[in-house]
Amino acid sequence: MSSLPRIRFIINPVSGTRSKVDVAARIKLYLDSQKHEHDIVYTDYAGHATELAQAAAAENYKIVVAVGGDGTVNEVARGLLYTNTALGVLPKGSGNGLARHLQLPLNLDRAIKTLNTGQISQIDSGTINDFPFFTTAGIGFDAYISSVFAGNKRRGLKTYVELVLKEVRTYKHLPVKVWINEQELDTDCFVMAFANAAQYGNNAYIAPLADIRDGLLDVCLVRQLDFVKAINLSYCMLTRQLANVQSAEYFKTTNVKVETEELMMFHADGEYKGKTNSFEVKMNPQSLKVIIPS
């Protein structure tokens, strides 16, 4: 039996908006077979990627590569938390927030080649009510958008922007109580984003100061929003200026608690998780190994 380090590719066959290139053929072409052995498995259902990743970690695979969008990355990464197996990413989603934050190539062939030459690095992860996240979690408007997007057959940035512009006019802020950095705030909340990585994906920077290795959560609170402020906020997100705009408040912390009278929606890495009225968000420093460009 060969003693080369092993890589498992976990492909989500339903992710992505782009044409389906033959990923298996590209891996065969560009992965250095002198350095690694590899196998490829496909997910059969939502949640399957976590089981496949856990099994690979238990068998001491060196790297498990998520082939899909941030939903697939989340499922694979969850299965690798606190193990010796590193996460790789071949980005195939519409946002690719973690891949962009880690400066991984978005081009498939170059992303495969990075696995030959890359280095292993440790990053933080977070949890919202015990659901792990690696880029962002949130309550309020962004969770609402995740819930609508989840039921939408059309994917991609254009669909997402159209949805935000339509829904922002009618979505209402709610009163919340927040415990953060030994402060207690009674405030309105249109959206509260908890960021491990700087962006949602698509270079929309909700937390431009976020460092994925600092053990800290970057929190962005927007108390109220109207259409004009929303345009300004979107511009600031795309130009990395959100940490110092008037319509948003920005905090760095290790954990946050939020309580609401009315049920509020929440998401982890853009996946809608449900509604509740009590939230606890925490950091898990240095909890995941990832492979990044050298």
Ligand X SMILES: Nc1ncnc2c1ncn2[C@@H]1O[C@H](COP(=O)(O)OP(=O)(O)OP(=O)(O)O)[C@@H](O)[C@H]1O
Q: Report the interface residues with ligand X, using CB under 6 A.
A: 12-16, 43-48, 68-72, 75, 93-95, 155, 270-271
| Closer residue to ligand X, CB minimum distance, 165 or 231 | 165
We find the least distance from the C-beta atom of residue 168 to ligand X, in angstroms, to be 20
We find the least distance from the C-beta atom of residue 51 to ligand X, in angstroms, to be 11
Question: What is the C-alpha separation between 187 and 174, in angstroms, rounded?
Answer: 8
Rounded to 10°, the helix 227-238/157-167 angle is: 150
We find the least distance from the C-beta atom of residue 267 to ligand X, in angstroms, to be 11
| Closer residue to ligand X, CB minimum distance, 149 or 250 | 149
Question: What is the C-alpha separation between 40 and 137, in angstroms, rounded?
Answer: 30
Residue spans of beta strands (DSSP E) within the chain = 6-11, 37-42, 63-68, 86-91, 119-128, 131-133, 136-140, 174-180, 183-189, 191-195, 217-222, 249-253, 255-268, 271-292
| Closer residue to ligand X, CB minimum distance, 43 or 253 | 43
Token readout for 86 is 């590193």
We find the least distance from the C-beta atom of residue 79 to ligand X, in angstroms, to be 12
Token readout for 120 is 């292993």
| Closer residue to ligand X, CB minimum distance, 47 or 215 | 47
We find the least distance from the C-beta atom of residue 148 to ligand X, in angstroms, to be 13
| Closer residue to ligand X, CB minimum distance, 112 or 176 | 112
